[in-house]
Structure 1
Amino acid sequence: MASAEPPAPDLSEALGAAILGSLPPSDEEQDHLAIVRRSAQAEQEVRRLLGQAVSAARASGHSWAALGSELGMSRQAAQQRFGTMPGAGGPDELEGGPHGTVEERWLGPVTAFDEMAELALAGRLGWRTVGAGMLRHRVRRTSTQWEHRRVVWVGATSRYEQDGWEVAVRAFPWVYLVRDTGRPAGEAPGPTLSEGP
């Protein structure tokens, strides 16, 4: 990726700390292969996060030309690189929880502008988000009502967990939180829920 400016020093420091964090202190002998392995894992994670960020930007209405400009590449290069990338939120991609025999559906299409209202309505009917894909959420039916919250993915989620929230989905740049209200699920008609793959 061609970039117009070098990485921010604080970002480089954070990545370096994350890579070296579990390795022995620098006064001990360094395992260079472990550093290579952790650096490769960090690169894979950053690529996944970038794919999710591009997906979120596209879902919010940003053009491939605008994305290409931010990435220091042409519109066509951005579209070719991220248009079919795992993590870019293709139609069959699902980020999130396990899928067994419980009742699950896709909620959508939704955008960053209307998804929280749709999730609130679905939550009152006993549906909770368990995954997110391009313009949709995977929801699971329960017997109780759920609250949904979307926050920017910055740091630990323990401050939310203290208030009873649990992480349902991490879909960069967002973290979707859910909280069981303990009230029985409602029976009113809800959002359009479609059968999914």
Structure 2
Amino acid sequence: MTENQATIRDGIATIISEIEPGIRQALDNDRDAYLRLIAVAAEIDAEAGGTLRDSVLSARAAGLSWENVGDVLDISRQAAQQRFGTPALPADGRVLRMHPVTAFDEMERLDEVGKHGWHSVGFGTLYHDLVHTDRQWEHRRVSVFGSRSALEAEGWQRIGTMWIPWAYYARPTDKPALPDPAKAS
């Protein structure tokens, strides 16, 4: 076992103990404790998988090739591209690309288009892909290194995958969308 693997295992054990206090003792005499352990391990696995996906997409946005990514993961470039390639677009395929946007103006621009029923469903370097609904939308940008479970508990939906150092969220409001100024002529 490498030093990194040992550190990861210790970290996972600490996380499990924090999420399920007393689980180590409960495993000795409570069969249901194993089900709680599985549930926590599944959450850790999902979060780690999301972090891997976000890291790969960030590497691609930084200009690294699928071959570079595949080499690090010990898989072919084709396998890396198939596993982490472009996420699916909405079923109707109608997407408006808002670009260019930067970390300095994207949230203000998302707030404005959100009032008119547009919300982000994907993003990349200098852009957000938007779809339209009949509701107003709110958007949030948070650090990928912080806890996002409180946002998700409040109905925020993660947009695409995380983009280190950011994660993006959107949620509909109870207000109807304002008329779209682009269509008001």
The interval holding the TM-score normalised by the smaller chain is 0.5 to 0.7
Q: Name the SS of the counterpart of 2:95 in structure 1.
A: strand
Question: With CA pairs under 8 Å and 6+ residues apart, which has the higher RCO, 1 or 2?
Answer: 1
Structure 1 or 2: more helix by fraction: 2
Whether the 8 Å CA contact 2:117–2:137 is kept in 1: the answer is yes
**Alignment partner of 2:97 out of 107, 112, 115:** 107
Inter-CA distance 138–20: structure 2 relative to 1 (3 Å threshold): farther
Identity of matched residues, %: 15
Whether the 8 Å CA contact 1:93–1:133 is kept in 2: the answer is no
**Alignment partner of 1:182 out of 164, 175, 179:** 175
* Matches of 1:60 and 1:36, distance apart in 2: 36
Whether the 8 Å CA contact 1:128–1:140 is kept in 2: the answer is yes
Q: CA RMSD in A?
A: 4.9
Inter-CA distance 84–27: structure 2 relative to 1 (3 Å threshold): same
| Cα deviations by residue, 1:51-107 (Å, 9 ceiling, x for unpaired) | 23314533663757xxxxxxxxx8662276584263x3x22446xxxx567x85253
Q: Name the SS of the counterpart of 1:57 in structure 2.
A: helix
| Cα deviations by residue, 1:136-189 (Å, 9 ceiling, x for unpaired) | 65544223432211223505326983xxxx312263462503352726423223
> Paired residues, what number?
169
* Matches of 1:27 and 1:189, distance apart in 2: 65
More moved, 42-51 vs 103-112? 103-112
1:84 aligns with 2:115: no
**Alignment partner of 1:154 out of 136, 140, 147:** 147
Q: Name the SS of the counterpart of 2:182 in structure 1.
A: coil
Q: TM-score, normalised by structure 2?
A: 0.56
